[in-house]
Chain A
Amino acid sequence: MRYSVSLAGETDFDGWRDAARRLSLNDVAPADIIWRTGASDDLFAADTPLPDAPANATLNVPRDFIDKAKAVVCHSDPARFTLLYRLLWRLRDEPNLLRIASDPDVIRLREMEKSVRRDSHKMHAFVRFVKVGTGEDERFVAWFEPDHYIVERNADFFIRRFAGMRWTILTPHASADWDGEKLSIGPGATKADAPTEDVSNDLWRTYFANIFNPARLKVKAMQAEMPKKYWRNLPEASLIPELIKGADEAARQMLAKMPTLPAPHHARIQERVWSKDVAALPETATTLEELSLLAKSCRRCPLWADATQTVCGEGPSDARVVFVGEQPGDQEDIAGRPFVGPAGQVFDAVISQAEIDRQKLYVTNAVKHFKFEPRGKKRIHQRPNVGEISACRWWLDHELDLIKPEFVVAMGATAAHALLGKSVSITAMRGQTVERSDGLRVFLTIHPSFILRIQDKAQASPERARFLDDMRAVKSLMAEFS
């Protein structure tokens, strides 16, 4: 038995689906079906009525296939219905067929879908509305010539975009009209039905001609994305040949034109704006504010180059205790303030438990720039080396000179190294106070980020408790000096 199926129109997906379902469930092979759209002069036997689908029969197809089929139905190739039915037929025995990207039918399906998608995309891009009428009668009309039957499929895009306008898109196959409330799909039209001139066209052409850089002429790249077949309906395209022809000359002129004397207003502007700008920096700092101003342009080691900014210490200049960490992390580098990231939060929580008031502390780092290794969208912390620590000691020493604290808390090996001038084992020495040759006492403990790095939660909490013990010891040291 052979069947000839007449679909209601070029994009009659529902009609195709209904017919395909009945035929497939009745085991009608692809070769026995002819698919036709609308009135056809095909002299094949008059339509044989389609068989009913057997009761309770189900036909399962992947969701993916339906989505692709809806797009492919809009393709202009008359063989599309046959291809879709053949794929449907094959899917019965090969449920994973669509995943076999190198299968010739799957390749054709993909090509057709891509072609419809591209045509739709170009429609979104190259439809050009012309305004007609004003006030109450204002409407926007466009003439467009797509490769495929895509007007119905894309009308929603234009509704979402131009909901507040009354517009009509005319194409040879169909037209879409939006009156501000309702969409109507109508018959095809001709170019003569659409208006062409709009006051805005000239401004648009002016823009097009001037945004073009003649020194970068790349005609092929343009035509790959904006093929010539679209040009006849683009108001700006008439300029293209002239722009291309003149490009060489325009670019040559740019090169040939020797620099002229500065514009007349130049000296006046420079004098007015930039002469008073430079407030000289102090030679040496006498306050912490001056110190941090000077530190902004520090280039004592190469770390400035990749970091955002120098992160100096924070706290009152008469603080009795100074806490020194390792270096600013990702968050500190962005905010420009020490101890505001995850380790800072642990620090804050623990010292407040130990009843130490952060407001009374001066908190700073041994190294003032963030050292890291970029990895995709993250910056991975890296330990500063001895050279960087000693380069930055210049700033730390100045901070301590200006504050003259009773004692210092070194958090972690880097801080201890910076303060004592040699590497010490924190594991062995934590909780102890070391006196430097200049009399300054240094209390040694871990860096709070150490607690964060412990993967095993069961181990992290005793470590946190030990850090809290250290902070309580610091608290009693502070009491000795008050």
Chain B
Amino acid sequence: MSVPTLQQKLAILADAAKYDASCASSGTTKRDSLKTKGIGSTEGSGICHSYAPDGRCISLLKILLTNFCIYDCVYCINRSSSNVRRARFSVDEVVNLTLDFYKRNYIEGLFLSSGVIRSPDETMMEMVEIARRLRIDHGFQGYIHLKTIPEASDELIEQAGLYADRLSINVELPTDDGVKRLAPQKKPETIRVSMANLRSKIEEKSEPTQRTRKRQRFAPGGQSTQMIVGADATTDAEILHTSTRLYAGYKLKRVYYSAFSPIPDSSSALPLVRPPLMREHRLYQADWLMRFYGFERNEITAGRPDGMLDLEIDPKLAWALANRAVFPLDINRAPREMLLRIPGIGVKVVNRILDMRRFKRLRIEDVARICVSIAKVRPFIVAEGWTPRGLLDSESLSDRLKPKPKQLSLF
């Protein structure tokens, strides 16, 4: 086979990277290039520079350094037994692609991951070198996310944190047994300890040092992880349990759920079905409820004996329907934490309600004007001149609030 051109390598190594869900460029410190007269800035919230027809945001140049890999994880297109075409970028190629794309305003920065070649340290060293050249040699102030190889040495991780905004280690699958079965060479124990080490470093370096009173730089955008959903029989309840453990234990900024997607030349150990996108969506909604709405994991999954989230209705509505005794809530008196539990009302609307009710009593029309769909809210609230009466207890409530069934295409 001939040596691939840069364009061919990009095709191979972008294709190899697309199963990583994260493309976030948010959560880091504010920076600009005014002083350095170079390029790059970060402004807190991320920017999506394009969207692929799969509806996913393209914020970063998300590529693999190489898709050669010594691991043989059955769900991965780059596993060593796969017949996929292989390629490998040079350090300079990645640096130049990042800068060239950034200058055209195609991207916010780089998300670099890699197959493991020869040894974890050797691979990690090249990834760190790319980040170092961008930051030091080119004064690049944009976003850098490095996928960290769990077995890499401490010094390399230290350097990675110095140059990168975010570091991440994938737990791969929600349970250790899943990892052992589908990624037999990966060690869940090592992955846990690596995430713990990242947490210690992030915490340690965010304290001002004794001598200079300055904070050292270490991954200001924190750490995140990803797990694959639907490659084995793990339930949503178990998945969310793992998430709560990860958020609490390692202070993760995000847990990403990646619906298992069929891959070319797939292993026979895996389900050959279309990716469970709705399930993935429901998991993200549940994740949000736990992080921003004060829901406990068991509350979300208690309603279903099989431990799976309802695919037809969102988890907040499902909870409300299963706990109707809590409702209706008086929109003019309920405390913040209860307002957050009303279906169809988000954090922003709750803030507006709290703000507004200091000055006037709210009618149902007031609520209708500030939320997306009053139909979903109406059965659950009492407002000035409005009570839901029998609406809340009616048998057909759940059917009425379900989205209209639509023809599902195969893809």
Residue positions of A touching B, CB distance < 8 A: 96, 99-102, 104, 107, 121, 124-131, 140, 142, 157, 159-165, 180, 198, 200, 202-204, 206-222, 225-226, 234, 236, 240, 243-244, 247-248, 251-255, 257-263, 265-266, 269-270, 273-274, 296-297, 305-306, 308-309, 333-336, 372, 374-379
**Cβ contacts under 8 Å, A159 to chain B:** 34
* Contact between chains at A377 and B103 (CB < 8 Å): no
Shortest Cβ distance from residue B86 to the other chain A in the assembled complex, whole angstroms: 9
Query: Which residue of chain A lies nearest to B272 when distances are taken between CB atoms in the complex?
Result: A255
Query: What would 13 more interface pairs be, CB under 8 Å, given A160-B43, A206-B11?
Result: A160-B41, A163-B39, A165-B103, A203-B6, A210-B14, A216-B55, A218-B277, A222-B52, A225-B48, A225-B55, A252-B411, A333-B196, A374-B247
* Contact between chains at B62 and A206 (CB < 8 Å): no
CA distance A96 to B355 in the complex (A): 10
18 pairs, CB–CB < 8 Å, chain A vs chain B: A100-B360, A102-B356, A125-B48, A125-B49, A160-B34, A160-B41, A163-B34, A203-B7, A204-B104, A207-B14, A210-B12, A214-B411, A221-B54, A225-B48, A248-B410, A251-B262, A259-B265, A262-B83
CA distance A216 to B281 in the complex (A): 12
Point out which of B33, B54, B80 has the most chain A C-beta atoms below 10 A from its C-beta: B54
Query: Which residue of chain A lies nearest to B63 when distances are taken between CB atoms in the complex?
Result: A207
The segment out of B158-166, B185-193, B389-397 that lies at the interface is: B185-193
**Cβ contacts under 8 Å, A125 to chain B:** 47-50
- Over the window 53-82 of chain B, the binary record of Cβ atoms lying under 8 Å from chain A Cβ atoms (1 yes, 0 no) is 111111001110000001010000000111
CA distance A87 to B253 in the complex (A): 40
* Contact between chains at A211 and B274 (CB < 8 Å): no
Known contacts A129-B105, A163-B36, A222-B54; is-contact A377 B14 (Cβ 8 Å) = no
CA distance A204 to B55 in the complex (A): 18
Q: State the total of A-B contacts with C-beta under 8 angstroms.
A: 262
- Over the window 1-42 of chain B, the binary record of Cβ atoms lying under 8 Å from chain A Cβ atoms (1 yes, 0 no) is 000001100111011011100000000000011101111110
Asked if B337 CB lies within 8 Å of chain A CBs, one says no
* Contact between chains at A213 and B81 (CB < 8 Å): no
* Contact between chains at A217 and B53 (CB < 8 Å): yes
Shortest Cβ distance from residue A196 to the other chain B in the assembled complex, whole angstroms: 12
* Contact between chains at B18 and A251 (CB < 8 Å): no
Known contacts A297-B189, A309-B193, A374-B244; is-contact A260 B265 (Cβ 8 Å) = yes
The segment out of B122-130, B209-217, B315-323, B364-372 that lies at the interface is: B364-372
Of A160, A162, A217, A274, the residue contacting B54 (CB under 8 A) is: A217
* Contact between chains at B262 and A254 (CB < 8 Å): yes
How many of B's residues come within 8 Å of A, CB to CB? Answer: 95
Of A124, A161, A215, A270, the residue contacting B411 (CB under 8 A) is: A215
* Contact between chains at B41 and A216 (CB < 8 Å): no
Asked if B299 CB lies within 8 Å of chain A CBs, one says no
Of A121, A130, A244, the residue contacting B53 (CB under 8 A) is: A244
Shortest Cβ distance from residue A326 to the other chain B in the assembled complex, whole angstroms: 19
**Cβ contacts under 8 Å, A200 to chain B:** 100-101, 104, 106
Point out which of A140, A219, A334 has the most chain B C-beta atoms below 10 A from its C-beta: A334
Known contacts A163-B36, A333-B249; is-contact A212 B356 (Cβ 8 Å) = no
CA distance A161 to B34 in the complex (A): 8
CA distance A99 to B356 in the complex (A): 6
**Cβ contacts under 8 Å, B304 to chain A:** none
* Contact between chains at B81 and A263 (CB < 8 Å): yes
CA distance A180 to B39 in the complex (A): 11
Known contacts A266-B72, A333-B196; is-contact A208 B52 (Cβ 8 Å) = yes
Point out which of B50, B261, B263, B267 has the most chain A C-beta atoms below 10 A from its C-beta: B50
Known contacts A125-B49, A161-B39, A334-B200; is-contact A212 B18 (Cβ 8 Å) = yes
**Cβ contacts under 8 Å, A208 to chain B:** 50, 52, 58
Known contacts A248-B411, A333-B196; is-contact A259 B101 (Cβ 8 Å) = no
* Contact between chains at A204 and B101 (CB < 8 Å): yes
CA distance A469 to B80 in the complex (A): 62
Shortest Cβ distance from residue A114 to the other chain B in the assembled complex, whole angstroms: 11
Closest 6 CB pairs of A and B: A221-B55, A218-B55, A374-B248, A262-B81, A160-B32, A102-B366
Known contacts A217-B411, A263-B83; is-contact A379 B248 (Cβ 8 Å) = yes
CA distance A244 to B51 in the complex (A): 13
* Contact between chains at B264 and A127 (CB < 8 Å): no
* Contact between chains at A309 and B262 (CB < 8 Å): no
Of A96, A131, A262, the residue contacting B104 (CB under 8 A) is: A131
Query: Which residue of chain A lies nearest to B261 when distances are taken between CB atoms in the complex?
Result: A215
Asked if B302 CB lies within 8 Å of chain A CBs, one says no
**Cβ contacts under 8 Å, B97 to chain A:** 203
**Cβ contacts under 8 Å, A207 to chain B:** 10, 14, 61, 63, 101
* Contact between chains at B266 and A259 (CB < 8 Å): yes
Of B15, B55, B63, the residue contacting A220 (CB under 8 A) is: B55
**Cβ contacts under 8 Å, A162 to chain B:** 33, 39, 103
Shortest Cβ distance from residue A72 to the other chain B in the assembled complex, whole angstroms: 18
Shortest Cβ distance from residue B179 to the other chain A in the assembled complex, whole angstroms: 13
Shortest Cβ distance from residue A294 to the other chain B in the assembled complex, whole angstroms: 13
Known contacts A219-B53, A222-B51, A378-B248; is-contact A102 B104 (Cβ 8 Å) = no
Q: Which chain B residues (172-214) contact chain A, with CB distance < 8 Å?
A: 176, 185, 189, 192-193, 195-196, 199-200
* Contact between chains at B106 and A128 (CB < 8 Å): yes
**Cβ contacts under 8 Å, B12 to chain A:** 210
Point out which of A96, A104, A218 has the most chain B C-beta atoms below 10 A from its C-beta: A218
**Cβ contacts under 8 Å, B100 to chain A:** 200, 203
